[in-house]
Structure 1
Amino acid sequence: MLKFVKNHMESIEGVATYPMISLLIFFVFFALLFWWVFTASKAYIKEVSELPLENDNNQPKEDLL
Structure 2
Amino acid sequence: MLKFVKNYMDSIEGVAIYPMISLLIFFVFFGLLLWWVLTASKNYLDQMSKLPLDENEPTKDHSI
Contiguous gaps of at least 5 residues in structure 1: 60-65
Match of 1:37 in 2: 37
Write 1 or 2 for the structure with the bigger share of helix: 1
Q: Quote the Cα distance in structure 2 between the aligned partners of 1:39 and 1:19.
A: 30
Q: Which AA in structure 1 matches 2:40? A: A
Structure 1 runs (4+) greater than 4 angstroms displaced: none
**How many aligned residue pairs are there?**
58
Q: Give identity over the alignment, percent.
A: 72
Match of 1:19 in 2: 19
Match of 2:61 in 1: none
Contiguous gaps of at least 5 residues in structure 2: 59-64
Normalising by the residue count of structure 1, what TM-score does the alignment of the two structures yield?
A: 0.82
Instruction: Map Cα deviations across residues 7-50 of structure 1 (whole Å, 9 max, x no partner).
Output: 10001110100000000000000000000001100110000000
CA RMSD after TM alignment: 1.4
Match of 1:58 in 2: 57
